Amino acid sequence: MTSSNKPSSMRIDKKNSKGCVIKRGNPIQITINDTQVTAYDGELVASVLLAEGIRTFHSKHKTGRPSGIYCGMGVCYECLVTINGIEKVRACQTQVENGMVIKTTGEKNP
Amino acid sequence: MIEKTDLIIIGAGPGGMQAAVSAAQIGLQVVLIDGNPLPGGQYYKQLPLQFSVNQNSCLLKEAASLFDGIQQPSIRLLTNKLVWGIFYNPKTKLWQATLQGDNCPPRLEAPAIIIATGAYDRSIPFPGWDLPGVITAGAAQVLVKYQGILPGKRAILSGTGPLQLAAAANLVDAGVEVLGVLECNQGLIQKGFLHLTGILGQWSRMKEGFQYAKSLLRARVPYKTGWSVIRVDGEGKVEEVTIAQLDKEGNPIPGTERSNSLDTVVVGYGLTPSTEFFRLLDCEMIYSKPEGVFLPKRDPFFQTSLPGIYAIGDCAKIGGAKLAMLEGEVAAAHVAYQSNRTTKDKFDQMTAKIHQAIKRENRFSKMLAELFAIPHGLFSLAKPETIICRCEQISLAEIRTAISYGAQTVTDIKNITRSGMGFCQGRTCASILSQILASQRNCPPAEGYYLNIRPPIHAVPIEYFTESSNGVQG
């Protein structure tokens, strides 16, 4: 297992034009495809995957086509991943928890 | 024992929260249920509890009284819970909602249910629309505003309506390089003049629009009307977009195509109401052209054809948060009146006043619907090999074959191809299927559009249906 603590450039940490900036929850450790990753309390599984540069969350059963976040609100079921051994969980509707084990299919970790 | 209450409200967005507050004021016991961790819906969406922010957005300040209002003993708020069905219990003569989630009753019964399930982004299929990196405007907002995550580094927006501008402004603000905002409609200003009466009294909203326009101008983001994304290409993800100018009917004009490399395409072609419960209950439905779907028929108090089942807000007709709240007030008052908690005089007085405000809001939403309709040609962007049903991976060619076999309704297409039978249960493709059917059979989309739905209306783990875990005894 390798540990990656790189600050992700996909996380927005500067103030916007109205001076507003989001402060994340506490750092936690999760596992994505056998790699240990730092995430933050309150983040969605989909957010952490994007922050880690993973855009394909699963590949389609029939065609193998890549599938990732699309609607972002739990409607389209395009963002299904395996979480703690339970298959087909919506990444956009699930918050990360310390020790969570996430598996995606169809794309290697960059 | 199945738990009982006076009123069940499904969806804690602006409409659902307002209905709960109004009902509680009149003395009803309310259970307010939402699938998200926090109330607010999409419009008043709150940051995760674990996040903090140095200043609250105007929207959340506006919603503060609602958030306070639902914190009271007569409102029981159940968050993180899925309602997967509504049934009529002939024994108790009550409506029964079935729930899934931690620490919640598996069933709840009440004489009335207000459905306030809102809406989600409407999809238009084009080659490559299913590639990772194509996301809806709603998803872009969730990621940037509520998660502080960039969906990509270089993006284009394509679609229609003011929500696109809001999403674009937020992306620019977050540091995404936005190549442009493509609005598929043209002649907006000329069309807008026809609707001046709708704009009266809506200055605060106009101001909101100007704010977005200002931050786009500052970043020199081009806003092109009469243009659209027509295809996206890439190896396993978005790499290149092709855009084109559209003619009046929305067909791409040959020779105007331009390509650009990028990693994110944000699409937003208006909204689709979440009508699952109305179809599940077999409420009387009417086709609504602006949304391209069937919507529940409602009386002046927002009751559907089924006594005790109410439909408020965007799930019943796209009209925005303010309209949803007004409808919630009226529906709550009607539930109270039906259960003799308020007198006829009081009820009439209360609703007459709100109905005036509702008329104003309706004028505004009618204007938006007419200004930002989807030009017909956009429904022909998909190629034979383009996937239409993403869940079951059914292509346009397969759907056309099914229609040539004699499919006359969207349900027929589903039975032949499995399109609309997957995880999302047709939420994404059903209205698209009706457009394909209409163009191939040369009939109005309403004619072939009916998609039945069965419980559970959201995917629920199979373990849940074992007797020991769902609390059913005898």
For residue B293, the 8-state DSSP code is E
Hey, what are B224's tokens? 């092109």
Q: In terms of CA atoms, which chain B residue is nearest residue A73? A: B139
Number of CB atoms found within 10 A of residue B469's CB: 12
Instruction: With respect to residue B278, please indicate whether it lies within any of the assigned structural domains.
Output: yes
- Smallest CA–CA distance from A26 into chain B, residue: B50
Is B151 in contact with B266 (CB distance < 8 Å)? yes
Q: Does A1 touch chain B (CB under 8 A)?
A: no
- Identify the three-state secondary structure at position B410: helix
Render the burial of A23-38: b for 16+ CB within 10 Å, e for the rest: ebbeebebebbeeebb
Q: A2 vs chain B: nearest CA distance in angstroms?
A: 24
Do B12 and B113 lie in one domain? The reply is yes
In this structure, the answer to whether residues B189 and B101 fall within a common structural domain is no
Give contacts of B49 with chain A, Cβ < 8 Å: 42
| Domain end among B269, B289, B304 | B269
Question: Do B296 and B239 share a domain, yes or no?
Answer: no
Q: What is the pLDDT of residue B136?
A: 98
The Cα B275–Cα B290 span in angstroms is 15
Residue contact B148–A67, C-beta within 8 A: no
Are B252 and B165 part of one and the same domain?
yes
pTM: 0.94
Indicate whether B356 belongs to any domain. no
Question: B362 lies in a domain?
Answer: no
In this prediction, residues A78-106 reach a mean pLDDT of 95
Q: Which of B269, B287, B307 is the last residue of a domain?
A: B269
Q: With a CB-CB cutoff of 8 Å, which residues 352-371 of chain B face chain A?
A: none
Q: Do B293 and B419 belong to one domain?
A: no
Neighboring chain B residues of A61 at a CB cutoff of 8 Å: 393
Q: Is A73 exposed, middle or buried (0-12, 13-18, 19+ CB in 10 A)?
A: buried
Pair (B300, B215) in one structural domain: no
pLDDT in tens, A20-61: 889 999 999 999 999 999 999 999 999 999 999 999 999 999
Total number of domains constituting chain B:
3
* B132 shares its domain with B254: yes
Residue B54 is given by DSSP the state: S
Which positions 34-93 of A are in contact with B (Cβ < 8 Å)?
Answer: 40-44, 46-47, 50-51, 55-57, 60-63, 65-78, 80, 86, 88, 92-93
For residues A55 and A79, what is the distance between their CA atoms, to the nearest angstrom?
9
Co-location of B135 and B264 in the same domain: yes
**Is the domain of B41 the same as that of B88?**
yes
Q: Which domain holds residue B321?
A: 3-120+272-342
Q: Where are the beta strands (DSSP E) in B3-59?
A: 3-4, 7-10, 30-33, 52-53
Task: Decide if B371 is inside a domain.
Answer: no
Q: Output the domain CATH number for residue B290.
A: 3.50.50.60
* Any domain includes B358: no
Q: Domains of chain A: which residue ranges?
A: 27-103
Secondary structure of residue B402 in the 3-state scheme = helix
Closest partner residue to A47 among B53, B134, B147, by Cβ?
B147
Best CATH choice for the domain A27-103 from the list 3.30.200.20, 3.10.20.440, 3.60.15.10, 3.40.50.300 = 3.10.20.440
- Say if the Cβ atoms of A16 and B174 lie within 8 Å: yes
**pLDDT at residue A108 in the model:** 47
One domain for residues B140 and B264: yes
Pairing of strands B240-245, B258-261: antiparallel
pLDDT one digit per residue (tens) for chain B, 474 residues: 799 999 999 999 999 999 999 999 999 999 999 999 999 999 999 999 999 998 877 778 889 999 999 999 999 999 999 999 999 999 999 999 999 998 889 999 999 999 999 999 999 999 999 999 999 999 999 999 999 999 999 999 999 988 898 999 999 999 999 999 999 998 776 666 556 555 555 656 666 767 777 888 888 899 999 999 999 999 999 999 999 999 999 999 999 999 999 999 999 999 999 999 999 999 999 999 999 999 999 999 999 999 999 999 999 999 999 999 999 999 999 999 999 999 999 999 989 989 999 998 898 888 888 888 999 999 999 999 999 999 999 999 999 999 999 999 999 999 999 999 999 999 999 999 999 999 999 999 999 887 888 899 998 888 777 766 555 543
Residue B390: inside a domain: yes
Task: Give the β-pairing of B134-136 and B119-121.
Answer: unpaired
**B53 shares a domain with B88:** yes
Q: Note whether B183 and B243 are within 8 A (CB).
A: no
pLDDT at A16: 84
Domain-ending residue, one of B327, B342, B357 = B342
Q: Are residues B51 and B174 both part of a single domain?
A: no
Residue B142 within any structural domain of the chain: yes
B33: left (phi over 0), alpha (psi -120 to 50) or beta: beta
Going through B192-328 in order, the beta strands assigned E by DSSP cover: 223-225, 227-233, 240-245, 258-261, 264-269, 271-273, 285-288, 293-296, 309-311
CATH number (domain holding residue B386):
1.10.10.1100
Rounded to two decimals, the ipTM of the complex is 0.93
Compute the Cα dihedral for B300, B302, B304, B306 and give only its sign: negative
Q: Report chain B residues whose CB lies below 8 A from the CB of A40.
A: 50
pLDDT of residue B204: 63
| Domain assignment present for B368 | no
